[in-house]
A and B are shown apart, each in its own frame.
Chain A
Amino acid sequence: MSAVGTTEAGAVRAGAGASPAYALSDCLTMTRRELAHWARQPVQVLVGLVFPVMLLLMFGYLVGGGRTVDGDYVDYLVPGMLTLTMVFGLEGTMTAVTRDLEKGVIDRFRSMPMADGAVLVGRAAADMLQSAVGLLVLAGVGYAIGWRATGGPASFLGALGLLLLLRFAMLWIGIFLALVAGRPELVQAVQILVWPVGFLSNAFASPDSMPGWLGTAVEWNPMSATATAVRDLFGNPGGEPGHLTAAVVWPLALLLLFFPLAVRRFGRLGK
């Protein structure tokens, strides 16, 4: 053993390994890092929360008047906006991952004896936490402008669960795309593409009001499945029973595809 290995730091380190305790500790450290970013950049966090609120108010008050939806448009709109926010979360994930890759800090993480997946787990935990907070804020604002969920507490929680499941699927798509794209320019391209995908759904308008082919595309959008099931659980107009399965299966299918792709891509950074 060399002289440096017998110092205190070396002695502690000698016991380090890939044990589950260390893996958990690494994941917590990476999550703490993301939370520390929030504390450092409160304005950015605030903007992230305010943006969907702005969209909600714009659509609710400016655009909403002309919508052909049975019942109160706000009751139709709020679940749609909640769903849209989950899909747009993809952008935040991509931006964060790309920024890390660019700064070289990922290289330092990878040259350390930490658990392999901790970088991704930290990202996932922080993004999910932020999305959960975002959901509650948006739901609160929705309540303030007249949205009411009438499905009962169990259904309410079930709806939040479906929304977060969609966000979780988006998270891994975001990580994968960021690892593939790697550069901020390409992130921008994806950001632009997320908008039509987000709007080609029943978030703002019922597919019944659209030309046939468009309505079909909208109905097949995985996001529409979540929005419809969530509306049903909230007891809002536009909800239909029987979409629950699709709202679970779609995100799960995306997860099954993109989770392994993202993990593999991360592992291939060294190739």
Chain B
Amino acid sequence: MPSEAVLVEGARKRYGDKDALDGLDLAIGRGTVHGLLGPNGAGKTTTVRILATLLRHDEGLVRVAGHDVRTGAREVRRRIGLLGQHAALDEELGGRQNLEMFGRLHHLGARRAGTRADELLERFGLADTGRKPVRHYSGGMRRRLDLAASLITEPEVLFLDEPTTGLDPRARGEVWEAVRSLVGGGVTVLLTTQYLEEADRLADRISVVDRGRVVADGTPDQLKARVGADRVDVVVRDATRLDEAAGLLPVARAEVTVDVDRRRVGAPVADRMAALAETVRALGAAGIEAEDIALRRPTLDEVFLRLTADEKEAAA
């Protein structure tokens, strides 16, 4: 039995003249949580839909839970759970009716489908809402029910496509909690997200996706090390001294970004406290007045720009 729960090699998918997937590779070990990180349109959802047998790819090898998605779609479907971007539920039916129906369609039999529905409602804190039609559910409740529906048969591989996009912070926390509770059970999880923080919190490994390809791959720490875990940003009072200030930051000059409009210089740093102290000292010694000096986490944009820039350099 192959050790990968998901194996993708050179997957391509074209829509008209646009390459949604342009030779995507992915290998996800069993029992791990893998994050697929990238902006809108990078190919994350296309990847999930192909893996979940909803969409056929044009070229390449795609295997899920040991079965080819083209020739063994039914085998794959028995072993996966899918949480799409939008709740895939019957809005008119109640929560329990939904879960019971999905249980029957997984061929659990009527009795087992009923007890499984009750178990899941209980587990996701929905036991007292099981009769209410889903269209009256809050966003967080809907997401939890959707997650419950994707766990009916205790899948080997679970796909979560932007599970928290559009949720408020509290509901987001609830979903994260639910995902974390699954991981102990040996489920393999593929999670797509636009949020670095989400991937950071949940994923063992992350693949950064851009224009249908994986441009970087590694543990969250490895990826963050590549872009610098934190940034120092300085807003300089006197715009004419911006360049001078840029030269004083405790990193190579090439790493420093200068934003003239905002009178701001910034750079990724490895040791945050030392870098902050050194910056304050150097600016003071040079007599450059700062309006603001801040340490902050890199944004996804920065991770992304950095990683895609590396990719371009490698190609050049």
Q: CB within 8 Å of B: which residues of A? A: 2-5, 7-10, 12-13, 15-18, 22, 25-26, 29, 32-33, 36-37, 40-41, 103-105, 107-114, 118, 269-271
- Bound complex: CA of A25 vs CA of B103, how far in Å? 12
- 8 Å CB contact of B185 from A4, A36, A105, A269: A4
Question: Contacts A9-B152, A40-B133, A112-B105 hold; do A33 and B186 have CB atoms under 8 A apart?
Answer: no
Q: Is the interface of A mostly helix, strand, loop or mixed?
A: helix
Across the interface, name the chain B residue whose C-beta is closest to A119.
Answer: B105
Q: Report A-chain residues with C-beta under 8 Å of the C-beta of B150.
A: 108
Question: Is B112 touching A104 in the complex (CB atoms < 8 A)?
Answer: no
Question: Contacts A7-B154, A41-B92, A270-B53 hold; do A108 and B102 have CB atoms under 8 A apart?
Answer: yes
For residues 32 through 74 of chain B, which have their beta carbon under 8 Å from a beta carbon of chain A? 52-56, 74
- Bound complex: CA of A271 vs CA of B52, how far in Å? 13
Question: Contacts A2-B186, A105-B89 hold; do A111 and B112 have CB atoms under 8 A apart?
Answer: no
For residues 83 through 113 of chain B, which have their beta carbon under 8 Å from a beta carbon of chain A? 84, 86-93, 97, 101-102, 104-109, 112
Can you name 13 A-B pairs with beta carbons within 8 Å?
Answer: A3-B186, A8-B112, A9-B112, A12-B108, A13-B108, A16-B106, A25-B104, A36-B92, A104-B84, A108-B84, A108-B149, A112-B105, A271-B56
Across the interface, name the chain A residue whose C-beta is closest to B150.
Answer: A108
Q: Report A-chain residues with C-beta under 8 Å of the C-beta of B265.
A: none
Q: Report B-chain residues with C-beta under 8 Å of the C-beta of A111.
A: 52-54, 77, 80, 82
Question: Contacts A108-B102, A109-B105, A113-B107 hold; do A36 and B74 have CB atoms under 8 A apart?
Answer: no
Question: Is A103 touching B88 in the complex (CB atoms < 8 A)?
Answer: yes
Question: Is B77 touching A112 in the complex (CB atoms < 8 A)?
Answer: yes
Q: Does B30 contact A (CB under 8 A)?
A: yes
Q: Report B-chain residues with C-beta under 8 Å of the C-beta of A105.
A: 88-91
- Bound complex: CA of A114 vs CA of B79, how far in Å? 13
Q: Does B78 contact A (CB under 8 A)?
A: yes
Shortest Cβ gap from B314 to chain A (Å)? 34
Known: A107-B54, A113-B77. 19 other contacts (CB 8 A): A3-B185, A9-B116, A9-B152, A12-B112, A13-B153, A17-B74, A29-B104, A33-B101, A103-B86, A103-B91, A105-B90, A108-B84, A108-B88, A108-B149, A110-B54, A111-B54, A113-B78, A113-B106, A270-B53
Shortest Cβ gap from A122 to chain B (Å)? 10
Across the interface, name the chain A residue whose C-beta is closest to B109.
Answer: A12
Residues 118-144 of chain B: 1 if any A CB is under 8 Å from the residue's CB, otherwise 0?
000000000000000100000000000
- Bound complex: CA of A26 vs CA of B84, how far in Å? 22
- Bound complex: CA of A269 vs CA of B54, how far in Å? 8
- 8 Å CB contact of A40 from B54, B74, B93, B101: B93
Question: Is B86 touching A104 in the complex (CB atoms < 8 A)?
Answer: yes
Interface size class of B (residues with CB under 8 A): 35 or more
Across the interface, name the chain A residue whose C-beta is closest to B105.
Answer: A114
Q: Does B230 contact A (CB under 8 A)?
A: no
Q: Report B-chain residues with C-beta under 8 Å of the C-beta of A40.
A: 92-93, 133
Q: Report B-chain residues with C-beta under 8 Å of the C-beta of A22.
A: 107
Q: Report B-chain residues with C-beta under 8 Å of the C-beta of A17.
A: 74
Shortest Cβ gap from B136 to chain A (Å)? 11
Across the interface, name the chain A residue whose C-beta is closest to B104.
Answer: A29
Shortest Cβ gap from A195 to chain B (Å)? 27
- 8 Å CB contact of A12 from B55, B74, B107: B107
Question: Is B102 touching A112 in the complex (CB atoms < 8 A)?
Answer: yes
Shortest Cβ gap from A236 to chain B (Å)? 39
Residues 139-163 of chain B: 1 if any A CB is under 8 Å from the residue's CB, otherwise 0?
0000000000110111110000000
Shortest Cβ gap from A95 to chain B (Å)? 13
Question: Is B186 touching A4 in the complex (CB atoms < 8 A)?
Answer: yes
Shortest Cβ gap from A61 to chain B (Å)? 36
Question: Contacts A36-B97, A270-B53 hold; do A5 and B156 have CB atoms under 8 A apart?
Answer: yes
Shortest Cβ gap from A123 to chain B (Å)? 13
Across the interface, name the chain B residue whose C-beta is closest to A18.
Answer: B74
Across the interface, name the chain B residue whose C-beta is closest to A6.
Answer: B154
- Bound complex: CA of A107 vs CA of B155, how far in Å? 17
Q: Report A-chain residues with C-beta under 8 Å of the C-beta of B78.
A: 13, 16, 113
Q: Report B-chain residues with C-beta under 8 Å of the C-beta of A5.
A: 79, 156
Q: Does B288 contact A (CB under 8 A)?
A: no
Q: Report A-chain residues with C-beta under 8 Å of the C-beta of B104.
A: 25, 29
Question: Is B154 touching A107 in the complex (CB atoms < 8 A)?
Answer: no
Question: Is B97 touching A4 in the complex (CB atoms < 8 A)?
Answer: no
Question: Is B112 touching A2 in the complex (CB atoms < 8 A)?
Answer: no
Q: Report A-chain residues with C-beta under 8 Å of the C-beta of B91.
A: 103, 105
- Bound complex: CA of A32 vs CA of B93, how far in Å? 11
Residue of A9, A32, A112 ringed by the most chain B CB atoms within 10 A: A112
Q: Does B293 contact A (CB under 8 A)?
A: no
- 8 Å CB contact of B82 from A13, A29, A107: A107
Q: Does B283 contact A (CB under 8 A)?
A: no
Question: Is A10 touching B53 in the complex (CB atoms < 8 A)?
Answer: no
Question: Contacts A9-B116, A13-B153, A18-B74 hold; do A108 and B186 have CB atoms under 8 A apart?
Answer: no
- Bound complex: CA of A29 vs CA of B56, how far in Å? 27
Question: Contacts A12-B112, A104-B88 hold; do A4 and B156 have CB atoms under 8 A apart?
Answer: yes
